[in-house]
Amino acid sequence: MKLISWNVAGFRACLKKGFANFFEEENADIVCLQEVKAEKDQYDFSPSGYYEYLFPAKRKGYSGTLIYTKIKPISVKYGIGEVEYDQEGRNITLEFNNFYLVNCYVPNVKRNLERMDSRMRYEECFKEYIMKLEKDKPVIICGDFNVAHTEMDIKNAKQNIGNAGFTDEEREKFSELLDSGLIDTFRYYNKEKTDAYTWWSYRKGVREKNIGWRIDYFLVSKRFIHQITNTMIYKEVLGSDHCPIGIEIK
């Protein structure tokens, strides 16, 4: 089984940049998208053989998550039960026989860190939500976490300490989430790998020089890690300032 996650930075724009070709070529069983920025009637994409679950933000043209899955889930839940974040369409949970899948778009603290307090509340609420699911069956979480966890996950670590996405607070919360019983699948199988990024600034030449950040992840319950047979970063795939990532499961 193949799962893919991608912050498309606007689904309508990404569709114009080759999304459908990538979707068809990869033929994944489940595809999770973040920052969709669209209502259902605003895009024309209904792939045959997939169930579709969209959670748009109430604010037009903002945030939102979307999942395409070949496998019909047992249940679907939109949000994590917190109005501030649920009205931004940040989380969709699908329940399958052997695991829960959570599509996640973590709030950005913004350049001047003005949303740090809200981000910290989200982190606590999200961890509590995941721990409740984890008591029932293993969890797979994917999406844009808006944080580079370690210095290996960012090109210019020293210059970025304290900047949005690389503050002590954000990195510590990510560590706490992992310590609660989850594993970063890519890092588990690529312990020393550097220069593996999933986001690049739109500034000219930055992506070509691979001056990037790894802020998109697949996390899984510790008891599920040996079900993961492969991890992928599709760094050559354009269409967004993020690239897609993926995992394969037994």
Phi and psi at 104, nearest 5°, equal -135, 130
Give the C-alpha distances (Å, rounded to integers) separating 120 from 22, 57, 116, 166: 35, 20, 6, 14
pLDDT above 90 covers a percentage of the chain that reads 100
What pTM, to 2 d.p., does this model score? 0.97
> Mean of the per-residue pLDDT values for the chain?
98
Give the C-alpha distances (Å, rounded to integers) separating 198 from 56, 97, 236: 23, 30, 10
- Distance (Å, whole) CA 193 – CA 196: 7
Give the three-state DSSP class for 40: helix
Distance from the Cα of residue 33 to its chain's centroid: 7
- The catalytic residues are 105, 144
How confident is residue 113, by pLDDT bands cut at 50, 70 and 90? very high
User: Nearest to residue 66, comparing CAs of 76, 56, 58?
Assistant: 56
Give the C-alpha distances (Å, rounded to integers) separating 163 from 124, 154, 160, 184: 21, 12, 5, 22
How confident is residue 90, by pLDDT bands cut at 50, 70 and 90? very high
Residues 213-245: tens digit of each pLDDT? 999 999 999 999 999 999 999 999 999 999 999
Position 5: which residue type? Answer: S
Kindly state the helix (H) or strand (E) to which residue 127 belongs, with its residue range: helix 116-134
Task: Give the pLDDT mean for 191-202.
Answer: 97
Residues 141-173: tens digit of each pLDDT? 999 999 999 999 999 999 999 999 999 999 999
